[in-house]
């Protein structure tokens, strides 16, 4: 027993010394990190060593809870079965159907052709992404153990993706926002759509002669919008509540993650927060102006403490050309290509936000009961070709099954096929190209 205690004290001493001395700062257990900032390899090595030390101490002095371990194994197996895409059955789980029905009033239709996309997958952790401009600072991070990358904005200022430019009269713009409010200060998030003769010059300007501005207060859900033409406010609504932006928990420190979808059709502007349409403005755009700038940013974040920062992050920016009537293509041209039916990564589980597209296609099939279709799934080139072929087949089958189960389209009217990565519509060398290649085609038979 003396040997065990001596060993424990020696290991504990090493652990504390390592925490105090590496990199001149405390190295925390990776499980306790809210986000990763691209630490040096030495830090990563110490993290792993410390985790092993902690696990060894825990195993040495704690009795194993067999009941808890058994329950954990059950939870793990359930999670694996939900995300496993090896099955070719293409069946739709009840959980997926329940989630997708939440979006039953979601009428957003993403643009047909992606002309700008950034998920920061090509940006190193800790760096600022290429193709963006700013008058502030930010860095790409990951949250907990997720592979999704975010642009972490911690200071006042604006951030402008250069690929959102020359906005057509019909376009869609989607992005995810993650916020966590930790200070007691007023905190405001906002984005602009505007015409500019010099986007770099106007990046730092808050108020210009022509713009659409949307903003919301951290955690409170209180939101406002302004339409300005020739320096005059011609439309506004201040202080309306968007429940999706409201934080949870007694201390309001629980984060919120919201998908924002923007849809322009000529002068009309619709904005969605998750499945909820929060704005529908018929005269939001000036027909005489050429809109070419989108910028997003925050105010009053500079008051946040370094060790307890407010968190504002964006990810998955998807900019696409819309079409006045994409669904008629299935009937008039015999083919409809959509990139708006989205799936979980490496999975055939359809994301709930795909409801609007599926509903639109189902409407065409109901209006034309003699039309039969072939549903074809396509993937990008990530992974091996055989797995991608199977994945594309399963995804096509999942689309067929949900059209049958949720929208009551007769099963015998639909065939399915998977092409995998074999027929790309764009280059697989860029994130935007890969996003265009992940698509579903509907062919009239």
Which of 22-36, 131-145, 175-189, 423-437 has the lowest average pLDDT? Answer: 22-36
- pLDDT on residue 64: 34
Confidence label for 96 from pLDDT (cuts 50, 70 and 90): low
- pLDDT on residue 418: 96
Phi/psi of residue 373, nearest 5 degrees? -135, 155
Whether residue 353 contacts residue 104, with contact meaning beta carbons closer than 8 Å, is answered with no
Q: Is the pLDDT of residue 77 over 60?
A: no
Confidence label for 55 from pLDDT (cuts 50, 70 and 90): very low
Higher-pLDDT residue of 90 and 214 is: 214
In the chain, the domains with their CATH numbers are 2-61 (no CATH), 92-104+326-444 (3.30.1330.60), 113-321 (2.60.120.200)
- pLDDT on residue 98: 59
pLDDT digits (tens, 9 = 90+) for 158-171: 999 999 999 999 99
Average pLDDT, the chain: 80
Whether residue 437 contacts residue 426, with contact meaning beta carbons closer than 8 Å, is answered with yes
For residue 242, the Cα-to-chain-centroid distance in whole angstroms is: 19
Residues 110-121: what's their mean pLDDT? 92
Residues 119-139: what's their mean pLDDT? 95
Q: Is the pLDDT of residue 303 over 90?
A: no
Tokens 């092993």, residue located? 52
- pLDDT on residue 272: 96
Q: How many CA atoms lie within 13 A of 54 on its CB side?
A: 14
Task: Please state, as a whole number, how many other Cβ atoms lie within 10 Å of the Cβ of residue 254.
Answer: 12
Residues 283-300: what's their mean pLDDT? 94
Give the global pTM.
Answer: 0.74
Q: Is the pLDDT of residue 375 over 80?
A: yes
Residues 228-241: what's their mean pLDDT? 95
- pLDDT on residue 223: 96
User: Shortest CA distance to 401 belongs to which of 86, 93, 78, 84?
Assistant: 93
pLDDT digits (tens, 9 = 90+) for 138-153: 999 998 888 899 999 9
- pLDDT on residue 325: 64
Residues 131-139: what's their mean pLDDT? 95
- Buried b or exposed e, range 171-184, using 16+ CB within 10 angstroms: bbbbbbbbbbbbee
Q: What percent of the chain stands above pLDDT 70? A: 73
Task: Please state, as a whole number, how many other Cβ atoms lie within 10 Å of the Cβ of residue 430.
Answer: 14
Q: Is the pLDDT of residue 214 over 80?
A: yes
pLDDT digits (tens, 9 = 90+) for 385-402: 999 999 999 999 999 999
| Interatomic CA distance for residues 172 and 340, integer angstroms | 11
Written as six digits, the tokens of 73 are: 């194994």
SS3 state of residue 190:
strand
Residues 287-300: what's their mean pLDDT? 93
Which of 15-29, 371-385, 395-409, 420-434 has the lowest average pLDDT? Answer: 15-29
Written as six digits, the tokens of 125 are: 């952790």
User: Shortest CA distance to 113 belongs to which of 391, 425, 430?
Assistant: 425
Q: Is the pLDDT of residue 62 over 60?
A: no
Higher-pLDDT residue of 338 and 24 is: 338
SS3 state of residue 364:
helix
Task: Please state, as a whole number, how many other Cβ atoms lie within 10 Å of the Cβ of residue 83.
Answer: 12
In total, the chain counts a number of residues equal to 445
For residue 344, the Cα-to-chain-centroid distance in whole angstroms is: 11
Confidence label for 1 from pLDDT (cuts 50, 70 and 90): low
| Interatomic CA distance for residues 317 and 44, integer angstroms | 30
- 415 forms bridges with which residues in the sheet? 374
| Interatomic CA distance for residues 291 and 273, integer angstroms | 22
């Amino acid at each position: 027993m003396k040997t065990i205690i001596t060993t424990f004290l020696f290991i504990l001493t090493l652990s504390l010394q390592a925490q105090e001395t590496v990199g001149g700062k405390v190295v925390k257990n990776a499980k306790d990190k809210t986000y990763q900032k691209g630490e040096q390899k030495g830090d990563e090595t110490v993290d792993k060593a410390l985790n092993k030390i902690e696990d060894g101490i825990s195993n040495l002095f704690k009795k194993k809870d067999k009941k808890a371990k058994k329950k954990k194994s059950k939870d793990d197996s359930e999670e694996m079965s939900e995300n496993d895409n090896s099955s070719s059955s293409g069946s739709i789980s009840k959980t997926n159907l329940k989630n997708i029905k939440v979006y039953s009033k979601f009428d957003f239709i993403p643009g047909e052709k992606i002309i700008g996309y950034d998920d920061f997958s090509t940006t190193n952790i800790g760096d600022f992404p290429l193709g963006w401009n700013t008058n502030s600072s930010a860095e790409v991070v990951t949250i907990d153990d997720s592979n999704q990358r975010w642009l972490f904005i911690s200071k006042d200022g604006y951030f402008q993706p250069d690929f959102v430019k020359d906005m057509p009269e019909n376009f869609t713009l989607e992005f995810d926002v993650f916020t966590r409010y930790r200070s007691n200060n007023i905190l405001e998030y906002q984005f602009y759509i505007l015409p500019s003769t010099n986007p770099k010059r106007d990046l730092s300007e808050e108020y210009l002669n022509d713009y659409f501005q949307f903003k919301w207060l951290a955690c409170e859900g209180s939101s406002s919008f302004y339409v300005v033409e020739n320096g005059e406010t011609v439309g506004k609504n201040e202080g309306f509540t968007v429940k999706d932006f409201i934080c949870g928990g007694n201390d309001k420190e629980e984060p919120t993650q919201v998908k924002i979808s923007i849809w322009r059709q000529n002068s009309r502007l619709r904005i969605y927060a998750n499945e909820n349409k929060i704005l529908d403005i018929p005269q939001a755009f000036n027909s005489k102006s050429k809109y070419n700038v989108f910028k997003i940013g925050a105010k009053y974040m500079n008051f946040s403490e370094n060790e307890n920062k407010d968190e504002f992050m964006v990810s998955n920016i998807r900019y696409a050309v819309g079409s006045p009537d994409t669904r008629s293509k299935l009937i008039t041209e015999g083919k409809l290509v959509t990139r708006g039916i989205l799936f979980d990564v490496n999975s055939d589980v359809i994301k709930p936000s795909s409801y609007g597209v599926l509903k639109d296609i189902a409407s065409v099939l109901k209006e034309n009961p003699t039309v039969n279709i072939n549903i074809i799934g396509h993937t990008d080139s990530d992974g091996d070709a055989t797995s991608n072929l199977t994945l594309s087949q399963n995804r096509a089958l999942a689309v067929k099954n949900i059209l049958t189960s949720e929208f009551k389209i007769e099963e015998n009217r639909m065939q399915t096929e998977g092409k995998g990565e074999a027929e790309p519509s764009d280059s697989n060398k860029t994130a935007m190209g890969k996003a265009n290649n992940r698509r579903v085609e509907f062919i009239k038979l």
